[in-house]
Amino acid sequence: MVSSVRQIEARFNGRETHRYDWVFFNNEEFTDEFKAAVSNATGSQCYFERIPEEHWSIPPWIDVTRFDVGRQFMGGIGVGKAWLQSYHHMCRWNAGIFASEKRLADYDWFWRVEPAVQFYCDINYDVFRFMQDNNMAYGFNMAILDDARSFPSLWERTKTFIDRNGDLIDDDADFNWLLHTAEDHDETIRPNTGGEEAVSDGGYNNCQFYSNFEIGSLGFFRSREHRAYFDHLDRSGGFYYERFGDAPVHTLSVSMFLPKSRIWYFRDIGYAHGLCEQCPPHQRQLNLGSLSSNPLPRGIEQEVAVNDVDGDDGRTLIGGQFESFGSKHRRWNMMAEDVERQKGIPGLACGCTVSAIDSNNAKLVPFESKQRKPSDPCIRKFLGDRWLVRKNKMSDLISVAENIASSDSIEYVLDGRDGNPFQ
């Protein structure tokens, strides 16, 4: 965890304009050694909270024997961590309970940070202010497939909820990208069923926002809509009889209760967790082994070092203890203008090799899971439009309309390695 904190501090939170609090949650008391280690890694206020037992235990409506048999079975067929009781508690807590914890009552926004993650790029703007100023409610940086064996009844439970609570669904909600289409072949499970026969299927395609990284509105996760959906799933027993994960639950929730325009793709934040990583297009390479502890953004830091003068109005930027309030304000405005100039994605300096936008699509789906997969990667289905335009691997002379290649041979006109994906 210390490594994750240090990276966030160096890449983002150590700047004077940020310095946001850290809140650590655990189902056990934190040790003094842990508290000291993470407190020394940041100049911000740290809070250490123990999750109440009622938030991290088997609910009274769960049949414990059925749960034990089910988790041993899921573990036996290779569903990741499904045999661990604590993992089921964790998924349930992250899916809905976390936002109601007393320590978070005075906060409006959260950024989920996991242990042993990597942040590859400098983040030269305030992500929370960006979300607030642009009326965003949820931010992610990967959309990938999950193992369908983890939650076989999730979509049926969700459809039941929609049927009973249609008034809660946002008028501009768009969750079509989460549903199977006629193009999604199912040769593995039902060899005699081609994609053309599945026109009216419309089942959940198992795409999800990778929730190990998420920035979001606590107000949304405390809302009537999300609470009702979470309670519906919780009462069904899916967090224990199956392995409902917080990622698909969050994905379905924000897609039902928010217009797509309030969900933001943080392509500019280079991130890695386990098998999954994404590295955005960037202008300058950083040394991964030299995270700066200077609170100024790197571009501003360089200007201060050479006592540079802005050519437009002749004002000098001065950092540190001698920086005036006016200078801080001008510096913030320069950062904000740069965000606007580049349509929300500042010029990046990263310590990673640029990856394709869909390189993580099936990394969490083990070979043993013979599930039906969407014909396009999840992130492309979310972005839509030009990100779905294909080219034929054998010949670029064949038009998109004539492309009948199998999913294994599909190539796309755009791969996300060049420039700003939103321009």
Residues annotated as part of the active site: 214
CA distance 260 to 168: 16
Beta bridge partners of 112: 214
How many residues does this entry show for the chain? 423
- Per DSSP, the three-state class of 44 is coil
DSSP 423: -
Beta bridge partners of 278: 271
- Per DSSP, the three-state class of 109 is strand
CA distance 194 to 183: 9
CA distance 247 to 26: 19
**316-349 per-residue burial string, b: 16 or more CB within 10 A, e: under 16:** ebebeeeeeeebeebbeebbeebbeebebbbebb
Spatial CB neighbours of 413, under 8 Å, sequence gap ≥ 6: 386, 389, 390, 391
Order of strands, sheet of 271-273, starting from the edge strand that comes earlier in the sequence: 118-119, 271-273, 276-278
Task: Please give the structure tokens belonging to residue 12.
Answer: 């983002």
Whole-angstrom CA distances from 128 to 20, 92, 123, 131, 215 are 10, 25, 12, 5, 8
Spatial CB neighbours of 360, under 8 Å, sequence gap ≥ 6: 142, 144, 210, 275, 276, 277, 278
| Chain CA centroid to CA 375, Å | 22
Whole-angstrom CA distances from 361 to 45, 106, 178, 286, 375 are 37, 36, 14, 26, 11
Whole-angstrom CA distances from 113 to 36, 181, 354, 419 are 18, 34, 22, 27
Nearest residue to 172 (alpha-carbon basis) of 228, 251, 254: 254
First vs last C-alpha separation in the chain = 35
Contact 272, 120 (CB under 8 A): yes
Phi, psi angles (nearest 5°) of residue 223 = -70, 160
